[in-house]
Structure 1
Amino acid sequence: MRPMDEIATAEPPPAPGAEQYPALDLANSAVTLPGGHRIDFLATPRAAEQWLVDRGLAPSDTGLIETCAGRLRSLREQIRALLAARTAGLPAPAAALTAVNDALTRAPAASLLHWDPDRGLYREAAHPVTQIVEHALAVLAANAADLLTGPDAERLTACRSAPCSRYLLRHGRRHWCSTRCGDRARAARAYARRTRTDAD
């Protein structure tokens, strides 16, 4: 079995829409690769912290602990539940709505004003780790709410290349999150056609 660092280098490019919607990127932070390999980019506190840092949602020295990483993974699953319901045309799960609304209301609404001799006046949310995470969760929850209620909600779809479980914003007829998934889906369809033809 390959080490986690080596597998992580196989991370697919962001799904269409993930750069615009960090909540979509969060939903896709656990990836199922061909062969059934699953990579969770939030699996450890260190990995979850790096994910937040890379998206400008936490400073690099946050010192995330497992409880906070677990809250981020939990929000991911609730957002995935809302995306799944939306793409399937089903009612939103009550537990997912509660979780997202809870994340929306926990963070302070404003960054405080500070003074530094080198920087002058600036605004920043200077919190302990828990509040940094609550702020990140609130940003991601608000972004998910914007995605699910905005004009792009009609373009939401699940990648149609098994075993991929990522979501994306559809562009035209494209229903795959990456070129790799599109190639795999086309190959599977071609194989199915050949198999049917051979059976006839």
Structure 2
Amino acid sequence: MEESVITGSGLPPAPGAEQHPSLALVNSAVALPGGHYVDQLGTPAGADQWLTQQGLTPVDAGMLDMCAAQLRSLREQARALFASRVAGLPALPAAVNAINDTLTRVPTAPLLAWDDKSGPYRAMPNPTSELVDHALAALAADAADLLTGPDAERLTACASAPCNRYLLRHGRRQWCSTRCGDRARAARAYARRTGRT
């Protein structure tokens, strides 16, 4: 089946995504019925808008292709860690290393620089990539906090195929949205009527 990419899923944030931006990050690529796929980070402009909506960068930060690719890569590594946690399986070392690398890449203070004419000064490296590095570090820190904190026990995958979003379970809720819950209930009802499993 051919997969098509569309611009917006129309889905509300999954439970927990407003408290954990890393959950919003892994849910920024969504599989929808009919072979459709939404990737909010598919373009630099989309990634720029997503980071702004999360409060991680100012409006029109000037996202570059390379920066958007780094954000998508972090999303896939965090997604792999969330999947391992939900399934109770060991994490891929590359995913753990990617999160740790992102956490340690951001300088905590302006670096010392030296100009031949004016002498020493303190400055941060490339301002645009600096913004992205800080945003990536904040997302990586949130993913690490989510995976090691009290909410980790509530982390689960949406139980409605083909949805691939994650959520923090509240009570018995197994779906990321009412739409997914309705789709799963309709599929179960159809299976009962037709005798399919």
User: So what's the TM-score if we normalise by structure 2?
Assistant: 0.87
Identity %: 67
Residue 132 of structure 1 corresponds to 131
**3-state SS of the aligned residue for 2:173?**
coil
- Structure 1 letter corresponding to 2:12: P
Deviates more, 1:144-153 or 1:57-66: 57-66
Please report the RMSD computed on the Cα atoms of aligned residues, expressed in angstroms.
2.1
Alignment CA distance shift 1:51-1:126 (3 Å): farther
Deviation at 1:33, TM superposition (A): 1.2
Q: Distance in 1 between matches of 2:168 and 2:59?
A: 30
Residue 33 of structure 1 corresponds to 32
Residue 122 of structure 1 corresponds to none
**3-state SS of the aligned residue for 1:168?**
strand
- Taking the TM superposition and a 5 Å limit, the aligned residue runs for 1:81-160 are 81-109=80-108, 128-160=127-159
- Structure 2 letter corresponding to 1:90: L
Structure 2: gaps (5+ residues): 111-123
Structure 1: gaps (5+ residues): 112-124
Q: Distance in 1 between matches of 2:151 and 2:125?
A: 33
**3-state SS of the aligned residue for 2:180?**
helix
Alignment CA distance shift 1:139-1:146 (3 Å): same
Residue 169 of structure 2 corresponds to 170
Deviation at 1:110, TM superposition (A): 5.4
Residue 114 of structure 1 corresponds to none
**3-state SS of the aligned residue for 2:195?**
helix
- Structure 1 letter corresponding to 2:135: A
- Structure 2 letter corresponding to 1:53: T
Residue 48 of structure 2 corresponds to 49
Task: Count residues with an aligned counterpart.
Answer: 182
Deviation at 1:10, TM superposition (A): 3.9
Q: Distance in 1 between matches of 2:39 and 2:68?
A: 12
Runs of 4+ aligned structure 1 residues displaced above 3 Å come to: 7-10
